[in-house]
Amino acid sequence: MNSPEESGSAKPKRKIKKWPIVTGALIVVVAAGIGGFIWHEQPAFCGAICHTPMDAYLATFESEPGVAGTDKWGNAVENTSGMLSVTHNAHGKTCLNCHEPTIGEQINEGIKWVSGDYVFPLEEHTLTDLTAARGATADEFCLNDSCHHLASDGTVIKTRADLEATTAHLSRNPHVAQHQEFDCGTCHKAHRSSVMYCSSCHADSEIPAGWVSGQEELTLSAAR
């Protein structure tokens, strides 16, 4: 008796449809990409990817406001609310609200991290460094519509002059350029206690809770 193949009655082979496999793979890739992008937006991303240099920064960001703590260098902090990262977090801000890395910067940082060619503790950047990618001045960086645009009494702040007016009642107005123009970052620090820079010369300067004087700043470990 002839076999089915010999008799011509063999059934044709079924073709496997590839589009469901391709579609499934694309869905996985897209989902992974979206998930990675969302994770990249979260503060925990910094500590998870670059443990050694970034853990201390994440720790300050996640500190409870208004309590004693430590700064990015391990120095004792009297009041964590004296660190901008803590108060920014309390108001719903994340790392990328201030740090806007460019693709080139991220690639460069990635290479340094993988190769181990980085300084630890990290060098402290100025506010000018932070604004470079945005093409904005230091004042524009801070006094924008989503950040420091309102005084405690509701007064709108858009310029340095507006800012000066909010502290005009103080015996020594820290926002007036007495000797030269200083940017906000001279006094306001994100991951360590903010500094009343005026006190470097004027011993009677009022120092806010959680801040340090200009002389105390010089004693901080790893201070530059």
Residue 9 falls inside a structural domain: no
Residue 222 falls inside a structural domain: no
Host domain of residue 126? 21-134+178-217
pLDDT digits (tens, 9 = 90+) for 7-45: 555 555 666 666 666 676 777 666 655 655 555 556 666
Residue 172 falls inside a structural domain: no
Residue 165 falls inside a structural domain: no
pLDDT digits (tens, 9 = 90+) for 175-203: 888 777 788 899 999 999 999 999 999 88
What DSSP string runs through the chain?
---HHHHT-PPPPPPPP-HHHHHHHHHHHHHHHHHHHHHHTSHHHHHHHSHHHHHHHHHHHTSPTTS-EE-TTS-EES-GGGSHHHHHHHTT--GGGT----HHHHHHHHHHHHHT-S-SSPPPPPHHHHHTTTT--HHHHHSSTTSS-B-TTS-B--SHHHHHHHTTTSSS-TTS-SSS---GGGT--SSS--EEGGGGT-TT----TT-EEHHHHTTSTT--
Averaged pLDDT, 138-166: 82
Residue 62 falls inside a structural domain: yes
What pLDDT sits at residue 41?
57
Residue 149 falls inside a structural domain: no
What pLDDT sits at residue 52?
72
Domain total in the chain: 1
Residue 142 falls inside a structural domain: no
